[in-house]
Chains A and B, each alone.
Chain A
Amino acid sequence: MLIAPPAQDAADPEVVRLVTLARGGDRTAFGRLIEDHLPAARRVALAAVGQPSDADEAVQEASVAAWRRLDGLQDPAAFRGWFMRIVWRKALDRRRSLRSWFERFGGAAIDAGGTPLLEHATPDASPDVLLMSRQLETAIAQVIKGLPRRLRDPFLLAASGDHRYEEIATLLAIPIGTVKWRISEARRLTRIKLERMGHGAPR
Chain B
Amino acid sequence: MIDAPRRELDGEIDRVAAKLVAVTENERLMQQVMMRLPDRTASPWLAAMPVQLAAAAALLLLAFLYARPAQVSEPPQLPQVAIVAPAVSPAASVIPSPALPRTQGRRDPVLRIQLASIERADHERSLAPVAPLPALELTSILPAALEPDAAIELAPLVLTDLPLAGDFIATLAETEMDPAVTVPGPFTISPREP
Which residues in A have some Cβ–Cβ distance to B below 8 Å? 1-3, 25, 27, 30-31, 34-35, 38-39, 42-43, 46-47, 50, 52, 55-56, 59-60, 63-64, 67-68, 70, 116, 118-119, 121, 136-137, 140-141, 144-145, 155-157, 159-161, 187, 190-191, 194, 199-202
Contact B30 A68 (CB under 8 A): no
Instruction: Write out the residue numbers on chain B whose beta carbons fall within 8 Å of the beta carbon of A140.
Output: 12-13, 16-17
Contact B10 A60 (CB under 8 A): no
Contact A144 B6 (CB under 8 A): no
Contact A63 B36 (CB under 8 A): yes
Residue of B nearest to A136 (CB): B12
Which residues in B have some Cβ–Cβ distance to A below 8 Å? 4-6, 8-24, 26, 29-30, 32-34, 36-38, 40-41, 43
A128 to chain B, nearest CB (A): 17
Q: Known contacts A3-B14, A30-B37, A161-B18; is A202 also within 8 Å of B9 by CB?
A: yes
Q: Which 6 A-B pairs have the closest CB atoms?
A: A201-B5, A159-B17, A2-B14, A140-B16, A42-B23, A63-B33
- Contact check: which of A56, A121, A155, A200 meets B29 at CB < 8 Å? A56
Task: Specify the main secondary structure of chain A where it touches its partner.
Answer: helix
Q: Known contacts A56-B26, A56-B29; is A67 also within 8 Å of B37 by CB?
A: yes
Instruction: Write out the residue numbers on chain A whose beta carbons fall within 8 Å of the beta carbon of B43.
Output: 68
**Cα-based distance from A38 to B9 in the complex (angstroms):** 31
- Contact check: which of B11, B16, B19, B40 meets A25 at CB < 8 Å? B40
B123 to chain A, nearest CB (A): 67
New A-B contacts (12) at CB < 8 Å, excluding given A67-B40, A144-B17: A2-B15, A25-B41, A43-B23, A56-B29, A59-B33, A60-B29, A116-B16, A118-B19, A121-B15, A137-B19, A159-B14, A194-B13
Contact A1 B40 (CB under 8 A): no
Residue of B nearest to A147 (CB): B17
Question: Counting chain B CB atoms within 10 Å of each CB, which of A46, A121, A159 scores highest?
Answer: A159
- 29 CB < 8 A contacts A-B: A1-B14, A2-B10, A3-B18, A25-B40, A30-B37, A31-B30, A31-B34, A34-B30, A35-B30, A43-B22, A46-B20, A50-B20, A56-B26, A59-B29, A59-B33, A67-B37, A67-B38, A116-B16, A118-B16, A118-B19, A121-B15, A140-B12, A141-B16, A155-B17, A160-B21, A190-B13, A191-B13, A201-B8, A202-B9
Contact A191 B9 (CB under 8 A): yes
